[in-house]
Structure formats: C-alpha cells, structure tokens
Amino acid sequence: MSGIDSRLSSLDGNGLAVFGRACLVHFARIAPSLVMRTPISFKSNRFFMTPSFRACMKQRGPDIQEISTMSEGARPDGPSHVKAIAPETLERERALLSDLKRKPLLRRLAGYAGLSGPGWLQAAFTLGGGTLASSLFAGTVMGYRLLWVQPLAMICGVIMFTAVARQALNTDERPFAAVRRHVHPAMAYGWALASLLASLIWCLPQYSLSISVVSDMLGRPLEGARSLPPSIVILGLVLLIVWNYGSSKGVKLFETLIKLCVAMIIVCFGLVVLRIPLDGSAIASGFFGFHLPVPGTHYPGWEQAAAQFTAQAAAQGQPDPRFMDRIGASGSDILIAAGATAVGINMTFMYPYTLRARGWTREYTGLAQFDLWTGMLIPFVVATSLIVIAAAAVLHGDASFAQLNPASPVKASAGDLAKAIEPVTGKFFAHVVFGMGVLGMTVSSICMLHLVSGFIVCELMGDVPGGRWYKFGMLLPSAGILGPLVWAKYGFYLAIPTSVINFFFLPIAYISFFVLDNRKDYLGEARPKGLRRIAWNVAMAAVIAIVATGAVYKIGQMLPDLLKKLQG
C-alpha cells in the first residue's frame, strides 16, 4: 500500500467527508481543461498533484494536508521523472566536465567521447531498413552524384536536436507536457500518436528485412511459418536489451550495446567497400558537387539500359518510353525524400527522454552538442555514404535493374547488391559481412522502436518509465515479428497512410520546438539572446521550410496512389 493510500485509510468519518468535498471542489475547477490538458491516468494519486487541489484543502486538517504534501514528489511533470543514473555518478560526471573545460581541445574531446551516448542512440534509430533502401536507391539510380544529400539532411536534424537539447537540459518539464502547456494540446497529442503509429508500423519491415538477410546468409528460404522462429529469436534479443533500460546500469549497458551495433554496421560496410574498385574523383564530386537531378538530363552509364528500356516498351506498346527523364525524376524523389526523412518523428520524441534518463542538465550542454555531431551525424554519414558508394560502384548503370514502372525505372534490393559484389569481394564478404551490417541496422532500429514506444505510452497514460504502462508500451512493437508474413501483402496499405501522417506531423513537431525555444516563460535565461537568437531562429526556420517542402511533395505523391489503390 502506498503512503497516500495508507494515510487515507487512517482518516475518520469527518476527515473523509472533508476530503470528499475537497475532491469535488477540485474536479469542478479543473473539469474544463481535464479533457484537453491532463493526460489520462489510472494512478490513484494523480489528481492530488495540482496547486488548485492543495489550495482547496488548505486548513482542512493535518491529515489531508499531509496527503497533499506526500503527492508532490509523484508529480509526473516535475524533475523526479527520469533520472536513472545514480546521484554519485552524476556528481563524478559533473566534476569531470568541469575539469575538462580547462583541458586542451583534444583532451577535452576525448573526455567527451567517453561520456557520450544519446546521440549514438539516434544514429542507431535512423540507420534502419528505410535508410538502407534509400541509400541503395540513390547509388543505383544516380551513382555518386547524391552523396551530399544525406549528410546535409542530417545536419538539418542536428540543428533542431541542438535546440531540443537546450530545452531538455535547462528545464525540469518533460517535453510532452511542455508542448501541451506552452504550444497546444493538439500539437502534443498529434506528436505523440504519430510517433507511436510510426514505431508500430515501421517495426514490420525491419523484421521482414532481417529475415531476408538471415535467409541469404543461411542460403535457404525462410518464408511463411519458417520466418517465425528467427523472428522470435530477434524479438527475444531485443527485449533482453531494452527491458532494463530504466535502471542506472541498464541505461549504460543499452548505450554501450547500441554503440557496438553502430560500430559493427560501419566496419562491415567499410570492409565490403574496401574490396570494391572505386572512382575517387567521382566520390569527391558526389560530396561537394551538389548535383541537382532534373528530368531531361543525360546520365552517362544508363545508355544501354535506356536502349533496352525503349525496345522493351515499344514491344509491349508502352507509351512515352523516356528512360532518362524518369531517371532524373527518380533522383529528384530521392533528394526531396532524404531532406524530409533523415530524422523520423519518433526520433524527435525519444531524444529528450534519453537525455533525461542520463540525468543531463545545463552543465552537460557542451557534451550534448559534441554527442550530436559525433554520435548522431558522423556514424550516419559514414554508414549511408558507404552504402551509396557500394551501390554506385556495382549497380549503377546495370541494365538488369531497369524496369518499365514510370515511378521507379530502376529497382534493386540489398540482396541484389550482395549478389553483384560477390564476384569482386568473394562470397563471405558479400553475404556474411555485408549481411551482418544490414542485420546490425535492423536490430538496432528495432531496439529503438521498442524503447520509444514505452516512452510514448508512459506519457499518454501519465505514468513514469519503469512502470506498468512503460513496460506495456515497450511490448507493443512485438507484433513486428509478423512482418515477414504480412508486409509483402499489406505493406502498401500500412506504409502509405503512416508516411502521410508522419510527413505531416514532423514539421509540426519542429514548429513546436521552434515555439518553445522562443518562450521566455519556458526557457527563462537559457533562451538565446541578441544575434545568437536571430541566428538560431533563421537556422531552425530554414530547416522547417526544407522539411515542410519535402513533406508536401511526398504527401502529394502518396495520396493519389493511395486513393487509386483504395478505389481499385
């Protein structure tokens, strides 16, 4: 029995009568805002937390006043939320950070590297099946020309996440509650629900890709019911990793395992690329040439495929067989989609909570910025660039990947890349090493999807991490084990509506962070001032404009296809 419950049981009849009247007065006061502004909760003591309740109980008796006081520490929006790291550990870290400020730059950066973590979680989150597919598509269709796109897209993400870090490190208010109170409840709940929907849906293709990679590594098909045993093994491994995240040791262990996963991804793809003949000047041009694909541009390397495409289209009576135009249009799709999707909406929800789980406060500002650039940006850029380079070197210009589909004139998968590089790298590097890299991407992303689902459900239900709702939310993406069974058949119906919702809410989430970053009553003295504030607002506004443009473009593409599919 909790302290509050035991105290209630000790009240006499008069005390309970006074207590009941106080409850009625309290609920009458908060009823207009309860529906929109107070998270649903099944905790018996949640309604004791507001000042209006304590005010109406004032001078009603020492027993009731003590109940009001006892509930203060359980306030879900207060500083007691997520600080899993032991206080003595935080004191040592703060002392180390203070000491590092006086060290030379290299010594300081080395010290920061040992303390980093939340940024690596974001890299693992975004390095999933979607990133793999877009990187393969970019290299296969456009060669090295779009190597600059994903680094620039992630820099935009780092800009917004730096603002999020400033808000999380300088306030005691949880991000969901902050958006609900200082921006609008609809923005907060839309942000949370869109993030949860994305986490549940995108688990399906992660498992589907994982099983296809395992099948390729084993050299035998794993279809239908045969896909369930390895899927269950992956789920068991994931739950073993994420289940104890809320504890002090669990947070550090989880971050260490994710770092190792990201490192494995980079090492595996690096070993594969090192065995492929590369064009150094074309790679440099891809990073710094800032090529913008447009229909009508002639792309060397696709002449044979274009001729084959034209002959095939003519034989089948297909109209408008302009292969090069479609290559340019596909390149435009890749460029715009990368700008809108390098950062997923569920990543924006999870990041501030991982900072709070580490107990980071304003003293950690320099470390948080270092962590974003070195833990989130660099691993993402290295991993995606290696995939684009491998695809460009081996698959670009291969006529066997040309098809008549106007929306996607070139189509290749991870399995196609593995088979294509086998003559160059050998079977072990093509299927085992490359496969381990892909498996590292999918498993690490699945871990993050489970973790963020726990955070989201815990917020919506007014619970705290480690509680029943947190565990329940963490289990929800377990349905992803059905991915190999249902994704091929129903993936379109799940992916398109989810993508439309996420593309719509990602700019809204960014706008919420923009508003919070400019509110004096929220950030206080931590709000940027003068020219620094102008610079931050311009940078964030530019990122919002880029993401919103990509979102409008992608929604415009997806909705007609969805409506046509539903009508047909």
Q: What does the pLDDT look like over 256-273, one tens digit per residue?
A: 888 898 999 999 989 989
What is the signed CA dihedral for 495, 496, 497, 502, rounded to 10 degrees? 80
Q: Is the pLDDT of residue 14 over 60?
A: no
Residue 358, pLDDT above cutoff 90:
no
pLDDT band at 417 (very low <50, low <70, confident <90, very high): confident
How is residue 128 annotated by DSSP? S
Task: Pick the range with the lowest mean pLDDT from 189-198, 276-285, 550-559.
Answer: 550-559
User: What percent of the chain has a predicted confidence (pLDDT) above 90?
Assistant: 29
Confidence of residue 57 (pLDDT cuts 50, 70, 90): very low
Burial, 155: exposed, middle or buried (Cβ in 10 Å; 0-12, 13-18, 19+)? Answer: middle
- pLDDT, position 160: 94
pLDDT of residue 31: 42
% residues pLDDT > 70 (the chain): 71
Question: Which CA distances in Å does 279 have to 178, 283, 299, 318, 392?
Answer: 50, 6, 16, 36, 10
Is the pLDDT score of 297 beyond 80? no
Question: Looking at residue 232, what is its pLDDT?
Answer: 93
Q: How confident is the model at residue 142 (pLDDT cuts 50, 70, 90)?
A: confident
How many residues would you count in the chain? 568
Residue among 230, 180, 173, 182 nearest 207 (CA): 230
Decide: helix, strand or coil at residue 103: coil
CA torsion sign, 386 to 388 to 393 to 398? Answer: positive
Does residue 153 have a pLDDT over 50? Answer: yes
Lowest mean pLDDT among 26-35, 430-439, 511-520: 26-35
Among 74-83, 118-127, 327-336, 391-400, the range of highest mean pLDDT: 118-127
**What pLDDT was estimated at residue 4?**
42
Q: What is the mean pLDDT of residues 510-526?
A: 92
Task: Give the per-residue pLDDT at 44.
Answer: 37
Please list the helix, strand and coil fractions of the chain in percent, rounded to the nearest 5, in that order: 80, 0, 20
Tell whether the model's pLDDT for residue 396 goes beyond 90.
Answer: no
pLDDT, position 411? 62
Q: What are the distances in angstroms from CA 16 to CA 7, 8, 12, 13, 19?
A: 11, 8, 6, 5, 5
Short-list 555, 554, 547, CA closest to 157: 547
Helix ranges (DSSP H) in 219-322: 228-242, 248-274, 280-288, 303-315
Mean pLDDT across the stretch 307-323?
Answer: 59
Split at pLDDT 50, 70, 90, the class of 20 is low
The pTM for the full model equals 0.79
Cα 125 to Cα 137: distance, rounded to the nearest angstrom = 20
Q: What is the pLDDT of residue 255?
A: 86
Ordered structural domains, the chain, with CATH: 3-74 (no CATH), 116-567 (1.20.1740.10)
Using CA atoms, how far apart are residues 405 and 409, in angstroms rounded to an integer?
5
